[in-house]
């Protein structure tokens, strides 16, 4: 009896083992299907003329004597890479997806222009991505396959990092170039509609990469601007486009030839030459484009027979029977540069809108809606607050400012134009050292937390002192860390925290006082301790009232206040306000420096903005600066609600206007404005 039971148990165990083996084999098969190269479909049944796609990049596989084009494609609401294969460049077949973004992948938007290279035995795809919801600017990421061109691609960057291009720059169309010494570079466009570009002019940049392509080395370098070449023409509302930078080395002359796309006025391909053979140039532009008949986003390759080819899409039309199509031509080099292609080889001239690609506003400067200052609340009322400061987190804009003597309220917006009142951001405690004059809050994100600076009147000291509060969340609540933050023996207002590229924090503030009955404000800066617990060194003088526009009431007011600091390339910019915010000649000036501690030099063409009663604008100032949804910088400031009010007056409203940089790198503003303004978001 026991023996029968034992045999039955053995039989049951055998059955169980068999089931487990079957299940394990099934799981192994599924895992293999996920990780192994996709299975090819039979038959090269798609002619090149039927390959309707943008930005075609041909990858040559010399080991297997074939070609691939890996393009972007969407499935189930997620972007991915889709492969095609050919043996002769004329006939192609679909292979399938070699990458599809996981549901939690940080890259949610764009999926543009994948360039796929063989490098050190693996394949890498350079792909343009962004995440609009989280406020991550467009840039280039890198995916890697260790199992061939048709293998499974995976991101090489950490999960928390989307792109390898600078996160503060709006970039696209990154490509790979490897020097003879083995040094890899990423060559990329800085988008004409992104932050810190001048006059809507696109730029081409380069940055060294680590040998394993998992990060960058050193700083990025600008190679040239679209306006440096003669052939591009402006489109839309004054845009000069830079697309698809790609470097090819001429083995005969040693020149580097950089091809790129813009409009002239149709979509075109141009070239710039580095006769030094170095990525950093200098780059000399050819006067005429290589191709100018409505085609572009090109790359250069040698086919399996050693013939030099150019691949691009033409015409530049996203819809209709005569739409963007894979175009491959022979191309020749003469005297160290590409010969101009016969434009009649592609004869289709479509009517197209160069601002719209695949239904999306790729140029991103096409006006879509308008606003007029002052900006409005969700109740369609003027947003009335002083000393406005705007910060952004996860695609949401937050605005706070001088509210009342109990603390500070805040507003939120998705477009900088319409704001919803969300109530309290900070409220003082019952035993707070300050009793009144709770002014000018600013919020900065630093090392995973949000820090608020503000000032208040402390009767025990008979002076204004600056305090520091903290929150885990952008919407608070903020609680005090230090009251006061530091005590210098004089009134300190309008503190602004700036964190440099190396992570070093600095503070800028106004030393405020009434010597001889004259309201005086002088700007100072100091390095901060890493934990923000206080100053790490003595304050350094920045500026006082000195320019003529700052002396309109010299007998009663000599103020510089409200500093705001940011960095563009290697230059530090400070906006500041001068004169009395309650009177009639408040305004904004600009200072420049090459180091956060200075010396700071005021711009000779100051002010950036000031009173213009003929345009119903009175005392614009005490600003912050923020990147708008289209990538442009905007200045956020207050001005008198009634330009012709009796002064002094502290009834102020919030306004925004676009900033830009001129050809000499000077900060300029399209404003201050009262009339309707077009925006491209």
Q: How confident is the model at residue 460 (pLDDT cuts 50, 70, 90)?
A: very high
Condensed to tens digits (0 to 9), the pLDDT of residues 154-176 reads: 999 999 999 999 988 999 999 99
Taking the C-alpha atoms of residue 110 and residue 131, their distance in angstroms, rounded to an integer, is 8
Q: Which is nearest to 558 in space by CA: 529, 523, 590, 532?
A: 523
Q: Return the pLDDT at 630.
A: 75
Phi, psi dihedral angles at 344 (to 5 degrees) = -75, -10
pTM for the model: 0.54
Torsion of CA 424, 426, 431, 435, to 10 degrees: -90
What is the overall mean pLDDT for the chain? 89
Question: Locate tokens 């068999």: which residue?
Answer: 18
Q: Return the pLDDT at 543.
A: 98
| Residue pair 424/436 in contact by the 8 Å Cβ criterion | no
- Please write down the HEC assignment for all residues of 71-123: EEEEECCEEEEEEEEECCCCEEEEEEEEEECCCCCCCCEEEEEEEEEEECCEE
- The DSSP element (H or E) to which 392 belongs, if any, is strand 386-393
Q: Enter the CATH code of domain 45-345.
A: 2.115.10.20
Taking the C-alpha atoms of residue 85 and residue 137, their distance in angstroms, rounded to an integer, is 32
Average of pLDDT values for 230-252? 92
Instruction: Name, in order, each residue with C-beta under 8 angstroms of 85's C-beta and a sequence gap of 6 or more.
Output: 40, 44, 66, 67, 68, 92, 93, 95, 150
Q: Measuring CA to CA, how many Å separate 22 from each of 18, 27, 391?
A: 6, 9, 57
Catalytically annotated residue among 115, 243, 561, 627? 561
387 given a catalytic annotation: yes
Catalytically annotated residue among 387, 442, 496, 657? 387
Taking the C-alpha atoms of residue 399 and residue 392, their distance in angstroms, rounded to an integer, is 9
76 given a catalytic annotation: no
Superfamily grouping for domain 369-679: Glycosyl hydrolase domain; family 43 (2.115.10.20)
Residue 321, pLDDT > 70, answer no
Tokens of 280: 């950093």
Condensed to tens digits (0 to 9), the pLDDT of residues 10-56 reads: 344 443 444 444 343 433 333 333 334 455 556 899 999 899 999 99
Q: Return the pLDDT at 76.
A: 86
Same fold, 45-345 and 369-679: yes
**Domain residue ranges in the chain:** 45-345, 369-679
The DSSP annotation for 424-473 comes to: EEEE--TT-S--EEEEEEEEEEETTEEEEEEEEEETTTTEEEEEEEEESS
């Amino acid at each position: 009896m026991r023996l029968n039971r034992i045999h039955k148990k053995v039989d049951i165990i055998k059955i169980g083992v068999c089931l487990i083996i079957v299940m394990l084999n099934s799981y192994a098969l599924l895992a293999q299907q996920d990780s192994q190269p996709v299975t090819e479909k039979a038959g090269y049944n798609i002619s090149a003329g039927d390959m309707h796609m943008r930005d075609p990049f041909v990858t040559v596989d010399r080991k297997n004597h074939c070609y691939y084009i890996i393009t972007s494609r969407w499935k189930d609401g997620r972007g991915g890479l889709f492969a095609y294969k050919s043996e002769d460049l004329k006939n192609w077949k679909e292979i399938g997806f070699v990458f599809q973004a996981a549901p939690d992948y940080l890259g949610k938007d764009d999926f543009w222009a994948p360039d796929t290279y063989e490098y050190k035995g693996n394949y890498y795809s350079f792909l343009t991505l962004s995440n609009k919801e989280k406020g991550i600017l467009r840039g280039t990421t890198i995916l890697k396959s260790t199992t061939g061109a048709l293998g499974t691609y995976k991101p090489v960057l950490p999960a928390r990092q989307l792109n390898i291009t600078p996160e503060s720059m709006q970039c696209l169309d990154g490509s790979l170039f490897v020097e003879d010494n083995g040094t890899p570079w990423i060559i990329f466009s800085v988008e004409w509609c992104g932050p810190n570009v001048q006059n809507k002019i696109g730029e081409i940049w380069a940055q060294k990469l680590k040998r394993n392509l998992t990060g960058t080395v050193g700083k990025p370098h600008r190679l040239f601007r679209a306006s440096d070449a003669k052939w591009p023409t402006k489109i839309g509302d004054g845009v000069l486009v830079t697309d698809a930078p790609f470097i090819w080395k001429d083995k005969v002359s040693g020149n580097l030839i950089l091809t790129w796309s813009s409009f002239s006025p149709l979509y075109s391909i141009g070239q710039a030459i580095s006769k030094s053979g170095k990525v950093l140039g200098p780059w000399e532009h050819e006067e005429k484009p290589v191709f100018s008949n409505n085609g572009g986003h090109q790359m250069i390759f040698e086919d399996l027979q050693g013939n030099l080819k150019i691949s691009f899409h033409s015409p530049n039309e996203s819809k209709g029977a005569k739409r963007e199509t894979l175009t491959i031509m022979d191309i020749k080099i003469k005297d160290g540069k590409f010969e101009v292609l016969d434009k009649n080889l592609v004869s289709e001239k479509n009517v197209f809108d160069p601002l719209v690609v695949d239904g999306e506003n790729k140029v991103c400067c096409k006006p879509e809606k308008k606003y007029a200052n002052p900006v409005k609340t969700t109740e369609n009322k003027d947003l009335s607050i002083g000393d406005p400061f705007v910060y952004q987190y996860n695609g949401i804009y937050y605005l706070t400012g001088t509210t009342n003597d109990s603390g500070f309220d805040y507003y939120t917006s998705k477009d900088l134009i319409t704001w919803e009142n969300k109530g309290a951001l900070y409220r003082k405690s019952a035993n707070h050292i300050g009793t009144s004059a709770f002014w000018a809050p600013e919020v900065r994100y630093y090392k995973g937390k949000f820090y608020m600076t503000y000032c208040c009147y402390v009767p025990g000291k008979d002076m204004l002192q600056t305090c520091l509060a903290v929150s885990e969340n952008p919407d608070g609540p903020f609680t005090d860390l230090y009251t006061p933050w530091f005590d210098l023996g004089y009134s300190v207002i309008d503190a602004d925290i700036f964190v440099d590229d190396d992570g070093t924090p600095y503070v800028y503030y106004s030393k405020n006082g009434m010597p001889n009955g004259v309201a005086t404000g002088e700007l100072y800066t100091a390095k901060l301790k890493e934990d923000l617990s206080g100053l790490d060194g003595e304050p350094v003088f920045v500026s006082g009232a000195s320019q003529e526009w700052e002396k309109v009431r010299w007998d009663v007011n000599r103020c510089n206040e409200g500093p705001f600091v940011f960095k563009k390339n290697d230059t530090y910019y400070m906006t500041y306000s001068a004169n009395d915010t309650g009177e009639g000649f408040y305004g904004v000036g600009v200072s420049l420096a090459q180091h956060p501690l200075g010396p700071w030099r005021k711009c000779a063409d100051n002010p950036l903005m000031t009173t213009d009663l003929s345009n119903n604008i009175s005392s614009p100032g005490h600003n912050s600066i923020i990147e708008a949804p289209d990538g442009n910088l905007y200045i956020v400031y207050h001005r008198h609600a009634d330009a012709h009010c009796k002064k002094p007056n502290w009834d102020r409203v919030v306004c925004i206007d676009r900033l830009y940089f001129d050809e000499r790198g000077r900060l300029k503003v399209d404003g201050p404005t009262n009339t309707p303004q077009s925006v491209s978001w």
